[in-house]
Amino acid sequence: MEQFLPREVLWADKTTMGSFLNETLNQKLYQVYLGIKKKAPSQDFRTLELFNEVYYICSRIVNENLPEVDLNPYIQEIKRDLGWDYPTSIVLNMIYAVLALREDNSIEVKNTIRKIREHYKMDYCKSPFSVFVDDEISKGQSYRVEFEDLNKIDPVLLAKCQALKFAGEGKDKTIIQNITIENKFEKPVGAVVIPGAVKVEKEINDFVKIKKIK
């Protein structure tokens, strides 16, 4: 499991808490969060930044291949984004709550939910968010939570991001001629790719495929 899409593609950061709190699920999460914050008044939680990070990581989990394989990349990214002393457990517990109460999860996302629950031993050590989730599920409650649909993202942008992923950062961005992208609409389009990217064609995901043409 590797990230290849930039944050801006997966999640557009909201600029006010009001933008989050117009959703019922977020209103309930916010109340649970305030209870935790009250018990740790000296901790700098940075509420808006926290909620944006939760939803960004959720979007990554929903869109990436095999997100359940390893939680560590998500933990490391949260720490890079919010600070190494940030209480990562709160972020992951909120991610768990959002995804566990989300309708229409894939099997991969369900496996990730289970992995987070196991990681924090939620069956034995109840956190405020796991208690909230269990209570909502017992009531048959679920929520419609929308994330970016990769099928609607510009295929050229996807191809560029994939090329960056496979070629690595720091290399010269050279335009290679006679490169095309085959997207699901069967309409070839041009792309800027990085040398070396096309040789890993078999690894490129289902949304786009880069290949050399004669």
Tens digits of per-residue pLDDT, 83-113?
887 888 899 999 999 999 999 898 989 999 9
Evaluate if residue 25 carries a pLDDT over 60: yes
Answer yes or no: do 132 and 159 share one domain: no
> Is the pLDDT assigned to residue 212 strictly greater than 50?
no
Q: Is the residue at 2 inside a domain?
A: no
* CA-based torsion, 22, 143, 29, 58: positive or negative: negative
Q: Are residues 79 and 131 in the same domain?
A: yes
Q: What's the mean per-residue pLDDT of the chain?
A: 75
Q: What percent of the chain has pLDDT over 70?
A: 65
Q: Is the pLDDT score of 139 beyond 70?
A: yes
* 164 assigned to some structural domain: yes
Is the pLDDT reported for residue 23 higher than 50?
Answer: yes
Mean pLDDT within 117-124:
88
Within a domain: 143? no
Percent of the chain clearing pLDDT 90 (strictly above): 39
State the pLDDT at residue 201.
Answer: 41
Q: What is the SS3 assignment for 160-199?
A: HHHHHHHHCCCCCCCCCCCEEEECCCCCCECCCCCCCCHH
- pLDDT band, residue 187 (cuts 50/70/90): very low
pLDDT: which is higher, 166 or 90: 90
Secondary structure letter of residue 154 according to DSSP = -
Q: Which of 78, 105, 138 is the last residue of a domain?
A: 138
DSSP structural state of residue 122: T
Q: Is the pLDDT of residue 40 over 80?
A: yes
pTM: 0.71
Q: Which of 138, 170, 186 is the last residue of a domain?
A: 138
- Over residues 54-59, the mean pLDDT reads 94
Check whether residue 26 and residue 129 sit in a common domain.
Answer: yes
* Structural domain boundaries enclosing 15: 7-138
111 contacts: CB under 8 Å, gap ≥ 6: 68
The mean per-residue pLDDT over the stretch 104-126 comes to 89
Q: How confident is the model at residue 206 (pLDDT cuts 50, 70, 90)?
A: very low
